[in-house]
Each structure stands twice: as C-alpha cells, then as structure tokens.
Amino acid sequence: MEKLLISSPWAEVEPLFNQKREVVKEAGLWGLALPEAYGGQGLTLAEFGRVSEVLGRTPGGHYVFGCQAPDMGNMELLVHAGTEAQRERFLQPLARGEVRSCFAMTEPEHAGSNPTWMSTTAAREGNEYVINGHKWFITAAEGAAFAVVMAVTDPDAESRHARASQIIVPLDTPGFHIERNISVMGEAHGGWNSHAEVWFEDVRVPVENLIGEEGKGFALAQLRLGPGRIHHCMRWIGICERAFDIMCSRAARREVAPGRHLGGQGMVQAWIAESRAEINAARLMVLETAHKIDNEGIYAARDEISLIKFFAAEVLMRVLDRALQTLGGLGMSDDTPIAYWYRHERASRIYDGPDEVHKMSVARRILRRYQ
C-alpha cells in the first residue's frame, strides 16, 4: 500500500481532489453548509453537523465537498458580515471552489490562548490600511488568494476587545511574504494542508477591505468559533467512528494465536466499550450544542461550546490512541489513516484556544453564579 495521499505534496493531491469535487458538484452535494444564495443548501448547524461527521471519516472529505477549514469560516464570515462588494469579489469564487483563502490571527510572539493580545497593526493612511506584522500557523496560506487578517486598528481602545479589526488582504499584495511552511509533525508540504509563517511589511489594502466595523475583529472572531467548533467537533466524531471501525475490524480478525483473536483480550474489550461510550457521549453533546446555537444563538451556548471543545478533543485523542495500540506496528505505519490522525489531530487540543483555556474560562463563568 502506498503512503497516504493526504500526506503527499499538495501538487500531487490537488488534481485528484479537484476531480472528486466535480463528482460532488454533479451530485448536487457541493457546499452544503452555505446559504442557497451562494450555491449551498442552507443546512442548519445541527443538520450540517451530521454531514460533517460523515465527511470527517476521510482526511480530505471536507475539502472535496467544499466545506473545509479555513475557507468555510471565511465564507460564513463574509455571508454574515461582508459587504456586497466583498461577497462579489471574495466570497463568490471561494464558494465556487475556484480559490482558497486563509485566516491570519496567531502570532509567534504571543500566546494563542489570549486572542486580544497581538502586535500586528493596520494603520489607516488615507483610504488605505497599512499592515505590519508577523503571523504563524496560517493554515493553507500557500496558494491562497486572500487572507482575512486580524490586526490592531485602535491600540488605545479602552477595552482590549475593541482594539483589533478583520481585514481582507489579497496575497499578491506587495509586502506580504511566506517565510516558510512550518514543518508540522515531520511534514512541510505546501498547499491547503500546510501551515505557514508569514510577514506583512507595509502591506497596503483599501479601507473597503475592512470586514464589518473597525474594532469588531474580536467579536467577529468569537462569532466564527461557534459554528467552527461544531464543524470541527463533528469532523472529529467522524474520525472517531472510522478509527473505531478500524480498531474493531482488526480486533475481530487478528489472531494472537491459532484460533484466538485479539478481540478476546479483556484490555482490548475495555478499549472498545469505553470508546463506544465516549464517542456516543461526544456526539450527543455536540449535536445538543448545535441545536442550542441554532435556536438560541452563540452567546447563549458559549459554555457548551467550550465544553465540547475539550471534551470531544480528548475523546478523539483517546480513541485514536486505543486504535493505534490495538493495531500495534500497523498502527504506527501509514497503511491506515490512524497514524496520520494520531499525529496531526493532536492539534485539536491546541487550536481555537487550548483545552486548558476553555476549562478556565467555562469554570470562571460557572463560579460567578455561585458567588
């Protein structure tokens, strides 16, 4: 068996993915989570959650169906807060899958756990913003048509939540450059599945590229997290289900001695039962949260959004770890997708706020009710 497609250089992966995208479009399944106006089907979050689980079973699922991060988040952002001109110029080609985009928020000098603390600035000069800054872990930057950039527009705003704005930066703008694709878990291929370290040096964009109002960058980022969390968490559930299948298949069929199967061992049985329980639990929690967001909005569901973040990520890593151990040497190899997920989905406990930050913030909100 060959090395996993998804880990291969993007130049090898992209053509195949694009072929499959055509199949999806012909089947009328493209961009399911988008409003109908943009070629989607206007699924609710809870509905799309169920889809996201299925797509998550294969590493390229979301890409092939046109609802991959970080593009999906950028599309939701522009649907929600973009101007007509922005939608025309940036959203439409993205929604059609003609271009890719990225989201530039994290900075190497500042802890990602503190999203209001950043050094990148966008200074207004006439009808332009002049952007300067250093960002990293910018997923899918290489080859992207544009970035949505978080930058400080008002460093003196009293509230630290009102300092930053989100601005669209076409990546062919002079002053932008990619320093490197960061080698992540041994892989540094470019393309959709890469993570760049980038610089903005006197990058000038028209003020029309501001998304929403000035100073609303943090609020827009919060908005992004709700649906994004559901997408991710349900994708993780899909990974869990696939890993569970692979683990159970192996346990049911692998002989440890003539006529005696791996699945007859008590410790393996414990892993299977515990995984089944935890995956069921995680799915119910995420879908419940999706319903709450659909019905009551993101603010009302912010505790649940934090809870599913770390709960589902921890379940994901435990299930992958058990599957890998059940497979033994095979689990270390790239003959199954387990090893790919084991190393790359480890990031699930880190991105969009490390688990610990979510635990701290949800606990503080809970404790306020007891004071």
Per CB under 8 A, which of residues 282..321 are in contact with a copy of itself?
A: 282, 284-285, 288, 303-304, 306-308, 310-311
Q: How far is the CB of 106 from a copy of itself (least distance, A)?
A: 7
At residue 78, the 3 state secondary structure works out as helix
Per CB under 8 A, which of residues 119..148 are in contact with a copy of itself?
A: 136-137
Token digits for 168?
């669209």
Q: How many residues in total does the chain contain?
A: 371
Distance CA 160, CA 118 (A): 10
Contacts of 154 (CB under 8 A, 6+ apart): 162, 163, 214, 215
Burial label for 344, CB within 10 Å (0-12, 13-18, 19+), is: middle
Q: How far is the CB of 212 from a copy of itself (least distance, A)?
A: 26
Per CB under 8 A, which of residues 179..238 are in contact with a copy of itself?
A: 182-188, 195
Q: How far is the CB of 153 from a copy of itself (least distance, A)?
A: 20
Among 16, 23, 252, 300, binds a copy of itself (CB under 8 A): 252
CA 125 to chain centre: 34
Q: How far is the CB of 44 from a copy of itself (least distance, A)?
A: 19
Q: How far is the CB of 290 from a copy of itself (least distance, A)?
A: 13
Distance CA 14, CA 49 (A): 25
Q: How far is the CB of 97 from a copy of itself (least distance, A)?
A: 27
Among 122, 150, 239, 251, binds a copy of itself (CB under 8 A): 251
Sign of the CA dihedral with 135 first, then 142, 52, and 223 last: positive
Q: Check binding of 259 to a copy of itself (CB under 8 A).
A: no
Distance CA 240, CA 218 (A): 32
Among 126, 174, 258, 259, binds a copy of itself (CB under 8 A): 258
Among 254, 291, 294, 298, binds a copy of itself (CB under 8 A): 254
Q: Check binding of 367 to a copy of itself (CB under 8 A).
A: yes
Per CB under 8 A, which of residues 88..117 are in contact with a copy of itself?
A: 106, 108, 110-114, 117
Q: Give the binding-site size for a copy of itself (rule: CB under 8 A).
A: 93
Per CB under 8 A, which of residues 325..364 are in contact with a copy of itself?
A: 325, 328-335, 339-340, 342-343, 346-347, 349-351, 354-356, 358-360, 362-364
First to last CA, the chain: 60
Among 269, 295, 297, 300, binds a copy of itself (CB under 8 A): 269
Best CA proximity match to 236, nearest among 84, 334, 155, 351: 351
Best CA proximity match to 141, nearest among 89, 71, 209, 76: 71
At residue 69, the 3 state secondary structure works out as coil
